[in-house]
Structure formats: C-alpha cells, structure tokens
Amino acid sequence: MGYSRLDGPVQFLKGVGPKRADLLKKLSIGTARDLLYHIPRRYDNISTITPISSLEVGMEASVRGEVVSKGVLPTRKGLKIFQAVLRDDSGMITVSWPGRPWLDRKIREGDRILAQGSVKFYHGRQFHPREFTIVSRASHDAEADDPNTVFVSYPSTDAIPQWVLRGMFEKNLDFLLEQIDDDEYLPEGIRKALGLPTLSEAFRTLHRPTHPEEAEEGRRRLAFDEFFYLQLVQALARHRDQEAEPGIEFLRTNEHIRPLHESLPFELTGAQARVLREIFADMASPRRMNRFLQGDVGAGKTLVALFAILLAVESDRQAALMAPTELLAEQHALKLRAMLEPLELPVALLTGSVPTRARSEILESLREGRLPIVVGTHALIQDDVRFARLGLVVVDEQHRFGVRQRMALGEGEDDAPGAGGSPTSESRERPDVLVMSATPIPRSLALTLYGELDLSILDELPPGRTPVRTLLRRPSARDEVYSGIERAIEEGGQAYIVYPLVEESEELDLPAATAEYERLSGEVFPGRTVGLLHGRLPADEKERIMAAFRDGEIDILVSTTVIEVGIDVPNASIMVIEHAERFGLSQLHQLRGRVGRGSRESYCVLISPSGKESWERLEIFASTTDGFEIARADLRLRGQGDLFGAQQHGRDPLLRFADLTRDEALLLRARELARRIIDADPELADPEHAAVKARLEGEHAERLRMWKVG
C-alpha cells in the first residue's frame, strides 16, 4: 500500500504544531487526512444572512456583524446576562445570552460574530442566539468577513475556535487537495456517469464553496464513497461466502410443498409468489443463499419461510428456524406444527428452558438426522448442537440478533475453531440462510446494514384485512378507553393492555406492570378475567397464559412488550398501549400488528401525555398502517445513527456524510459498482483497482475484519 502524506500527523501542517495538534485530538483529528475530512457543519453567505435592519420580532435568522460594545448585566432575579451590540452595514442590534456571563471573557470588541437564533422583544428588539461562532478576531483576517464569501462553520472547541480552524484550512487546503488526488478511485467515465465531482473537487466545495449549495455536491461525493466502501466490504463478504464452499442445489420434488399449498385456505399473494420464486431460485442454484426477507407485519413471511423449509426437507436436508426470544420460538413452533399437521412432519422446539433429558433427545435426533425441522432460540447455536444434514437456516427478527451472531451463523467448524456459535453440519455443506425481519425497515437502511445479503421485499398484504383504527388519547381519557374495552369484551372480543419496558431492565418496570395488573383486575374490570404476561415468567407459565388468552379464557392480557412479536390471537380486537411515547414507531407498528388479525373491527389506542413532539410523532403513526412508511418516518425522526447499533465501531459513525433518507439512489449505484468490481476482480489485483485496494486495506481494515473478509 502506498504511503500517503495525508496519513502523516496533522502536527506537520502549516500553522498547526505540537500544541494545536494535541488540542485537535478533541475533534478526532490526528492525521492530515482527518483534517481534510473535518467538514463544516453549516454554510452562510449573503443569501442566508439577514441584514440587522431587517430583523423583526419573532423571526428566526442568521446574523453577522462586528461587536461594538459588550458587558454583563445583572437582573433583579440574580440572573446574569451577557450582552453585545452587533453592527453590520445596515444597523445594530443587542444580542443577549441570558445566564452566560462567562462569554464576556471569550468575546471581544471588534470580533466578528455569526449567530443563529431568534429575535425577541425586551425593551426593544433583541437577538437571542441558539448558536454562534466567532468568525474572525479583531486583529485577524478582516477580508474573511466579506459578505459575499461563504462563511463555513466547523465543529470547534474553545481551544480550537473557528478562526483557528479557518486559518489552518487557508494555509493547507491547496496542499491537502493535491494529496487527495491519489485517493481517487473512480475512473473518469464512471464518475461522470454518476454525476459526481472528483475527490479533490468535492473537498474544495466542502471547505471553500463559492455558494452554499455547491457544498452539497461535495457531500454527495463523500456519501457515495461511504456507501461504496461499505458495499465493497459487503460484496467481498458475499463473494467469499459464496465461493469458499459451494452451496446446496436443492431439488424440488413437491412431496411436501404441494400438499401444503393445497391445504391453504387462501391463495398466495402476488408478492409471496414472487419472493418464493426468488428464494427457490437461490436455493436451487449451486450458490449459497444469503437472503434477507423484508415484509410488513402480517404480510405472510412465516408462510414463505415454511415453503423454503419444505424445499430443504424435500431435498433430504434439515432446516432450523431461529427466533430471538423463547416466546417467539414457541409461537413459531406452534404455528409450524399446526400447518404441518396434515403433512405429518414433526417440528422440534429447542430453547434454553427445554429440560436436559428432552434436550439431549432432540440433540441426538438432530445429529442422526431423524429430525427434519427444529425451531429454537440461541440454544440452537450452542457448541454441542450438531446436525446431520443442515440445509437451511431461517433467522427471524433479524434486528435483535446483531451482526456478530448472524456472522457466526452457518459458519463451518473450520472457520471458527472452538469458537462455537454455529449450528454445524456434520457434512461439509454449509446451509443456505434466510433472514426475516420483524419490522420493515427502509430499503436504504436494509441495504446498508445487510449489503452482503440479497433483498426480497414482501410489499403486499393478503386481501380482506380490515385496517386497524388507531386512536390517540390523553391519560385523562383512560376511563373512556376502559369502557371501550368493556364493550368489546361484551361483544365477544379480547384486549391487550401493553406497558413499556426498558430493555435489559425488566426488573425495574415489572412492579409498574404488576401494580397496574392488580388495579385493572381488582378495580377496573372486576367481572373479567385479566392475565399478566411478562418476560420474567418461566417459559411454561408464559405459554400457559398465552394459550389461555388464545383460547378465550383470558379477556384482557396485561403485558410488557414481550407480546411485541409472534402472538397471533385473531379474536383480540383492541390494543391499548400505555406511555406510547416511550416506544419507537416501528415497535408500535409491531405491537399494533397483534390486533386486526381476525374479522373483528379492531382498534389500537395509544395513551400518552401531551408533549408536542411526541404527540406529533404518534400522530404520524396513527395516520398510516403502512409499515414501510412508518419505518421511513422513524428513520427520519430518530436519525440513522441511532439505528446502527452493533455496526458502529470505534469512534466513527458508520455513515458521516450519507443520509439514508435522501441518498438511496446513490446507495444503489454504489452497491452496483462495488458488486461489479468484486465479481470481476475479487482480489482487486487489477492495477486499475490499486487505489480502491489501498483505501480498503488502510482505512477500512477494521470493517474488513468485522465482516470477516480481512
């Protein structure tokens, strides 16, 4: 790998030196390249800045001007206010920072300041900044304040303020831009076809745009690069996975598939048929299947998975279905057993709470190949679990597993000696893998997190479903909600009442749910049977309660989010969710999917105290039942950083420049290019790919390791 001067310490750049280099660490800047990648967080010029004379009370605005006087004002209530008078060509305004007297030491007369905030009225117009930066010191670069140049605001610290960063870029940017040319990996033709600038142009527009909009072109280029290298690693993982050992060529005999198909009281949806074709084609091919199945709640994923399982069984292989919780595994087992009853195919259940004796019996039958289908939890990936001929692994509820576990899944012994964590087949074959998501996630997020997988989307619900009506209520309306429940039960229905649960701390929240349960069963619904379900109950107890609810022996099931997935009780027509604001939208969608599964008109009632933001969020949720739309809203509201979890590594966010809500088209093209390159030149041996290879093995080494392709 060629040495780039960009990899050298930032200290040796002009105007930096050891002392500032040390201070730059706080901004995660260690090398010259880090400095180049230190991108402004906003851009202002004459088009974004309001002349002081035009500021009106109530406006949100950016202002820029020179400090002509300043001081700290005490108020009667003891609050100290720092005030500065700011002047531009058009006029003057008082800028107030209540409670921040220390700014008096930071801001000097003659400093030029850029501030964003609102105009208020206190003895006249006043500007109250939310944010501000010192554009230039009285004695420094006066021409930087030319209103026609774009002023860039960098993330800064007290020790390395704006004007210092600006100075560093003024002295070094040209040199850095020259150096970054060596990183260019996109051939001109491809780059132009993508409508992207060169790397060097991109960084120029980001640090020294002639217009704020120009910086967006640079951002798109860096976003493309992020997607590209991520997809490249994933394409490598995919390639190695498929080439390392050939997959199984499953052979369809229809021995089981046809009878199941014929036993269904309905037709497959168009989406199910399409996705099944994709899966069957993958399974029949000698390539190993690694597919991600996405679909809304109730879209019929389980049935699709079952057909895949039957194809494996027809080909004389075993199939495993893995779920993230015992409850869900139990539900799956029940469902599969019911559907497979006419076919006389046994389904075993392997979870942590299966007694030792039964467990060893199951293990033995799996090892000897007598058991074709097993459903389970993590218990399936214990060291001592061996299959005679494991052909297919279906993983449900992907997002709960995290990458590491999924990577462990389906790996042969040779890959991870003694590491355990793989349902291992005695034969050399490696199973096909089908991953199912519980909740739809936006396509861009799916492609980013699981780029090495192929994606199948079930985007059609079976016909004849009455959409669940979602109502939003304040806690004060609880009694009415209870009357609604009472009426529904009178009509023969059942209800869920769900309480939130902070993950990992179930113990803390349990008293709340328990107390509510007592209140509900004793005072609110004395004539009804109320059940309590939570994660700390023993598995058999959970199963007993669920069975009782399913059989109509329980009218109202009070529950923590353990019912989030899997429970299928068509007679339940009302779900009340307490503290709805504490749930993510996708989680709410998942919960809501538990009702409306039968013919009854169904309701989901969200109870939440008012609070503008959370109420708005819940209103979005109430307005649609389309899971993909909800997922996109969730992504937009929560931000992508929140969603990456296990994929984050070190201090770097997975994506700094790319925005999954806006850049899907870019992502698709990056993915296409990455896969094309890896398919043609998996070793990146072609000199044309030297720059790609260098970056991949340098900056992305950690990621290569994470995806096990290093």
Q: How far is the CB of 397 from Mg ion (least distance, A)?
A: 23
Number of residues that bind ligand ADP (CB under 6 A): 14
Q: How far is the CB of 247 from Mg ion (least distance, A)?
A: 4
Task: To the nearest 10°, report the CA torsion of 515, 516, 522, 526.
Answer: -160
Alpha-carbon gap, residue 49 to 278, rounded angstroms: 54
CA-based angle 598:603:607, to the nearest 5?
145
Alpha-carbon gap, residue 48 to 678, rounded angstroms: 44
Q: Burial-class residue 460 by CB neighbours within 10 Å (0-12, 13-18, 19+).
A: middle
Q: What are phi and psi of 32, to 5 degrees?
A: -60, -40
Among 45, 156, 179, 269, binds ligand ADP (CB under 6 A): 269
Q: How far is the CB of 458 from ligand ADP (least distance, A)?
A: 7
Work out whether 272 is an interface residue with ligand ADP (CB under 6 A).
yes
297 vs 375, beta carbon nearer ligand ADP: 297
Pick from ligand ADP, Mg ion, none: which does 272 bind, CB < 5 to 8 A by kind? ligand ADP
Pick from Mg ion, ligand ADP, none: which does 269 bind, CB < 5 to 8 A by kind? ligand ADP
Pick from ligand ADP, Mg ion, none: which does 67 bind, CB < 5 to 8 A by kind? none
Alpha-carbon gap, residue 37 to 193, rounded angstroms: 25
Pick from ligand ADP, Mg ion, none: which does 247 bind, CB < 5 to 8 A by kind? Mg ion
Kindly indicate which of the ranges 281-289, 292-300, 399-407, 603-611 contains the residues binding ligand ADP, using the contact rule CB under 6 A: 292-300
Q: Write the CA distances from 548 to 556, 564, 565, 574, integer angstroms.
A: 11, 18, 18, 17
Pick from Mg ion, ligand ADP, none: which does 268 bind, CB < 5 to 8 A by kind? ligand ADP
Work out whether 103 is an interface residue with ligand ADP (CB under 6 A).
no
Among 20, 301, 430, 542, binds ligand ADP (CB under 6 A): 301
Contact (CB, 8 A) for 618 and 582 = no
Q: How far is the CB of 266 from ligand ADP (least distance, A)?
A: 4
Kindly indicate which of the ranges 176-184, 262-270, 637-645, 657-665 contains the residues binding ligand ADP, using the contact rule CB under 6 A: 262-270
From its phi and psi, is residue 643 left (phi > 0), alpha (psi between -120 and 50) or beta? alpha
Residues that bind Mg ion (CB under 5 A): 247, 283
193 vs 547, beta carbon nearer ligand ADP: 547
Residue 522 is classified by DSSP as I
Strand order of the sheet with strand 603-607? Answer: 469-473, 603-607, 572-577, 494-498, 556-559, 530-533
Residues in the chain: 710
Work out whether 462 is an interface residue with ligand ADP (CB under 6 A).
yes
Determine the 3-state secondary structure of 340 from DSSP: helix
Pick from ligand ADP, Mg ion, none: which does 212 bind, CB < 5 to 8 A by kind? none
Q: Burial-class residue 418 by CB neighbours within 10 Å (0-12, 13-18, 19+).
A: exposed
299 vs 371, beta carbon nearer ligand ADP: 299
Pick from ligand ADP, Mg ion, none: which does 298 bind, CB < 5 to 8 A by kind? ligand ADP
Contact (CB, 8 A) for 456 and 527 = no
Q: What are phi and psi of 60, to 5 degrees?
A: -100, 130
Work out whether 598 is an interface residue with ligand ADP (CB under 6 A).
no
CA 269 to chain centre: 28
Work out whether 303 is an interface residue with ligand ADP (CB under 6 A).
yes
Work out whether 625 is an interface residue with ligand ADP (CB under 6 A).
no
Q: How far is the CB of 303 from ligand ADP (least distance, A)?
A: 5
Q: How far is the CB of 456 from ligand ADP (least distance, A)?
A: 12
Work out whether 268 is an interface residue with ligand ADP (CB under 6 A).
yes
Q: How far is the CB of 57 from ligand ADP (least distance, A)?
A: 53
Contact (CB, 8 A) for 361 and 600 = no
225 vs 326, beta carbon nearer ligand ADP: 326
Contact (CB, 8 A) for 45 and 186 = no
List, in sequence order, every residue forming a beta bridge with 126; answer none if it has no partner.
94, 120
248 vs 395, beta carbon nearer ligand ADP: 395
Kindly indicate which of the ranges 168-176, 297-305, 321-329, 507-515 contains the residues binding ligand ADP, using the contact rule CB under 6 A: 297-305
Kindly indicate which of the ranges 5-13, 87-95, 263-271, 679-687 contains the residues binding ligand ADP, using the contact rule CB under 6 A: 263-271
Alpha-carbon gap, residue 39 to 22, rounded angstroms: 19
Pick from ligand ADP, Mg ion, none: which does 301 bind, CB < 5 to 8 A by kind? ligand ADP
Work out whether 324 is an interface residue with ligand ADP (CB under 6 A).
no
Q: What are phi and psi of 121, to 5 degrees?
A: -120, 110
Q: How far is the CB of 422 from Mg ion (least distance, A)?
A: 18
Work out whether 315 is an interface residue with ligand ADP (CB under 6 A).
no
Work out whether 440 is an interface residue with ligand ADP (CB under 6 A).
no
Q: How far is the CB of 651 from ligand ADP (least distance, A)?
A: 38
Contact (CB, 8 A) for 301 and 293 = yes
Q: Which amino acid is at 625?
A: T
Alpha-carbon gap, residue 245 to 653, rounded angstroms: 33
Which residue intervals of 491-597 are DSSP H helices? 506-519, 539-550, 585-592
Among 248, 297, 347, 453, binds ligand ADP (CB under 6 A): 297
Q: How far is the CB of 428 from Mg ion (least distance, A)?
A: 14
Kindly indicate which of the ranges 84-92, 196-204, 268-276, 674-682 contains the residues binding ligand ADP, using the contact rule CB under 6 A: 268-276
Kindly indicate which of the ranges 131-139, 294-302, 380-388, 580-588 contains the residues binding ligand ADP, using the contact rule CB under 6 A: 294-302
Helix (H) / strand (E) containing 706: helix 701-706
Contact (CB, 8 A) for 431 and 390 = yes
32 vs 306, beta carbon nearer ligand ADP: 306
Work out whether 260 is an interface residue with ligand ADP (CB under 6 A).
no
Helix (H) / strand (E) containing 409: none
| Interaction pattern, residues 210-249, with ligand ADP; x per rule: CB under 6 A | ----------------------------------------
Contact (CB, 8 A) for 245 and 423 = no
Q: How far is the CB of 602 from ligand ADP (least distance, A)?
A: 14
Work out whether 266 is an interface residue with ligand ADP (CB under 6 A).
yes
Alpha-carbon gap, residue 660 to 226, rounded angstroms: 12
Structure-block tokens of residue 663: 């850049």
Among 40, 209, 218, 298, binds ligand ADP (CB under 6 A): 298
Pick from Mg ion, ligand ADP, none: which does 91 bind, CB < 5 to 8 A by kind? none
345 vs 436, beta carbon nearer ligand ADP: 436
CA-based angle 82:87:93, to the nearest 5?
55
Strand ranges (E), 302-389: 318-322, 347-350, 373-376, 386-387
Work out whether 300 is an interface residue with ligand ADP (CB under 6 A).
yes
Q: Among residues 116, 130, 83, 559, which one has the least CA distance to residue 327?
A: 559
Q: Among residues 441, 405, 470, which one has the least CA distance to residue 584?
A: 441
Alpha-carbon gap, residue 624 to 332, rounded angstroms: 28
Kindly indicate which of the ranges 65-73, 117-125, 252-260, 301-309 contains the residues binding ligand ADP, using the contact rule CB under 6 A: 301-309
Would you tell me which residues interact with ligand ADP (CB under 6 A)?
Answer: 266-269, 272, 295, 297-303, 462
